[in-house]
Amino acid sequence: MRKDNLFFKKNNSDQLSFFSAFNFRVTFYTLILLLMPTLIVAEFVEKTSKKSLEVDLKINNSVLQLPLFENQKSVPSLPLVLVDPQEAIANSLMHLRNATFLFVIDACNIFLVAPAFSSHPILGDYEQKHSLLVNGDPVISAGEIVVKSGKITVSTKSGHYKPRLEKNQERLIRAHLFSHGITDFKFEKFKFDLKLKFDLKLK
Q: How many structural domains are present in the chain?
A: 2
How much of the chain, in percent, has pLDDT values that exceed 70?
Answer: 62
Closest CA to 64 of 139, 162, 169: 169
Q: Are residues 191 and 154 in the same domain?
A: yes
pLDDT band at 168; cut points 50, 70, 90: confident
Asked if residues 130 and 96 have their Cβ atoms less than 8 Å apart, the reply is no
Q: Are residues 62 and 20 in the same domain?
A: no
Q: Average per-residue pLDDT in the chain? A: 75
Q: Are residues 77 and 39 in the same domain?
A: no
Name the percent of the chain in helix, strand, coil, to the closest 5. 45, 25, 30
Q: Are residues 31 and 84 in the same domain?
A: no
Query: H or E segment at 143?
Result: strand 139-148
Q: Are residues 15 and 106 in the same domain?
A: no
Q: Are residues 106 and 6 in the same domain?
A: no
* Residues 6+ away with beta carbon under 8 Å from 155: 143, 144, 146, 187, 188, 189, 190
| Structural domain boundaries enclosing 12 | 1-52
Q: Are residues 22 and 42 in the same domain?
A: yes
pLDDT band at 42; cut points 50, 70, 90: very low
Please indicate whether residue 115 or residue 52 has the higher confidence score (pLDDT).
115
